[in-house]
Amino acid sequence: MTAATAQAFEVRGVSAALGGTEVLHGIDLAIGAARWTSIVGPNGAGKSTLLKVLAGLLAHRGELRLFGEPAAKLPARQRARRLSWLGQGVAGEGAADDLLVYDVAMLGRLPHQ
């Protein structure tokens, strides 16, 4: 399988809760590597929760694979080399106004340098 056809994420039966309330229920999806992918939906649909699960920032049930390997079994350093997270508002209001999009995206890599 080439990088262009590989799956960056494979998710099977993933569920997650916030504040004791399950907000993701049995999610199955595959996100291809080297592709743009959008997750859309109304407020409260679970988009941010799903992204936090994919980034390993939120406990979940079900299977999550990162580039074909079980994400839970990847050492933190190896996982960090394959994945970065920059949540909404992390840079602060107006803090990144003079940065290029690439530079803002690379802020998610700072903890791993």
| N-to-C CA span, the chain | 29
Q: How many domains does the chain have?
A: 2
For residues 47 and 29, state if they share a domain: yes
Prediction pTM value = 0.75
The parent domain of residue 12 ranges over 1-74
Phi and psi at 38, nearest 5°, equal -115, 140
Cβ contacts of residue 63 below 8 Å, gap of 6+?
Answer: 10, 11, 12, 13, 14, 70
Cβ contacts of residue 22 below 8 Å, gap of 6+?
Answer: 15, 16
What was the pLDDT predicted at 31? 93
Question: What is the domain-level CATH number for residue 26?
Answer: 3.40.50.300
What was the pLDDT predicted at 82? 82
Q: What is the pLDDT of residues 44-97, one digit of tens each?
A: 899 999 999 998 889 999 999 999 999 989 888 888 778 877 676 655 556 667
